[in-house]
A = this chain, B = another copy of it.
């Protein structure tokens, strides 16, 4: 594996993990007054896919958008400030945790309504296709979103119009507290159902950042070739509660054993192990990455706390 790439993939995951762990620790202080869905444990999907993207490609996400936003290069300071409801936030404090965007970095929008951005990503890809641009639009969504009608309409349209959109399904096995098998046919995988729309659909270990990266590369090549959309199903797992910073394996909808098992398969731990094994980085490098990431987060938090709240006179600003 390429040394720089390997280190970048690991570094990005560490960056995101540090940011979210830190925010999760600070969350109970009640200063971030916005329902927050942490991606802790799912970083490999965001990082693996976004590392395979070009700067000009764009992404869309849903309610669990921190990792996608950061992986694509969204401003950490602006994200933290947004969670603190400050004027310096990426949505100037108007949008909150579930509405992150950073157009300059290609993070066009995130939305808290399931499936909304799947269709939006298809529309952006349609625009790219109309202009004959090699750009790709990525749609990140969860396994629960697959049940919404818009999933079907979006895939059908994307295939029929051959637009360059990459659908990335982050299958963490749950929709809030409901297991996948209670919500979808047990006999067919999401990947298989996606494939039935006539697009290339690949399943991958969502906790193996290198595998995700390779799978995304192949899919993106297909999209850029003008052959239309592609689909990736990434198996992964959410460590914390659905919304909020806490652990919830005591709540009865999943077992501690299940959580422990997935924590043991931490995407960062395994990626670190591999890079060390292959001699692509040293423990010191990892410490350095971690310290640098932590410093960046601490700085972002301090800046966010110091930043001003939006002015009440601007309450309706920007509505039309």
Closest to A154 in B: B149
Contact of A198 among B149, B188, B199 (CB under 8 A): B188
Q: A191 → chain B, closest Cβ, in Å? A: 10
Closest to A153 in B: B149
Contact of A193 among B149, B151, B184, B197 (CB under 8 A): B197
- The CB with the most chain B CB atoms within 10 A, among A150, A152, A197, is that of A152
Closest to A196 in B: B196
Q: In residues 142-186 of chain A, which contact B (Cβ within 8 Å)?
A: 147-153, 156, 159-160, 182-186
Q: A143 → chain B, closest Cβ, in Å? A: 12
The answer to whether the Cβ of A319 comes within 8 Å of any Cβ in the partner chain is: no
The answer to whether the Cβ of A225 comes within 8 Å of any Cβ in the partner chain is: no
The answer to whether the Cβ of A192 comes within 8 Å of any Cβ in the partner chain is: yes
Contact of A153 among B148, B159, B196, B197 (CB under 8 A): B148
Report B-chain residues with C-beta under 8 Å of the C-beta of A151: 149, 152
Give Cα distance in the complex from A192 to B151, angstroms: 18
Number of copies of chain A assembled together: 2
Contact of A149 among B149, B160, B185, B195 (CB under 8 A): B149
A156 and B160 contacting across the interface, CB-CB below 8 Å: no
Give Cα distance in the complex from A89 to B147, angstroms: 39
- The CB with the most chain B CB atoms within 10 A, among A148, A183, A196, A197, is that of A196
Contact of A185 among B147, B153, B184, B198 (CB under 8 A): B198
Q: In residues 186-217 of chain A, which contact B (Cβ within 8 Å)?
A: 186-188, 192-193, 195-199
Closest to A149 in B: B149
Give Cα distance in the complex from A197 to B197, angstroms: 12
Give Cα distance in the complex from A187 to B227, angstroms: 13
One digit per residue, 1 when the CB lies within 8 angstroms of any chain B CB and 0 when it does not, for chain A 93-126 equals 0000000000000000000000000000000000
Besides A160-B184, A160-B185, A196-B196, 20 new A-B residue pairs in contact (Cβ under 8 A), listed by A number: A147-B153, A147-B156, A149-B149, A149-B151, A149-B152, A149-B153, A151-B152, A152-B153, A156-B185, A159-B185, A160-B182, A160-B183, A185-B198, A186-B198, A187-B198, A188-B196, A192-B196, A193-B196, A193-B197, A195-B196
Return 23 A-B CB contacts under 8 Å, by A number: A147-B153, A147-B156, A148-B149, A148-B153, A149-B149, A149-B150, A151-B152, A152-B152, A152-B153, A156-B184, A156-B185, A159-B185, A160-B184, A160-B185, A185-B197, A185-B198, A186-B198, A188-B196, A188-B198, A192-B196, A193-B196, A193-B197, A195-B196
A-B pairs with the 5 shortest C-beta distances? A149-B149, A152-B152, A185-B198, A196-B196, A187-B198
A residues lining the B interface (CB < 8 Å)? 147-153, 156, 159-160, 182-188, 192-193, 195-199
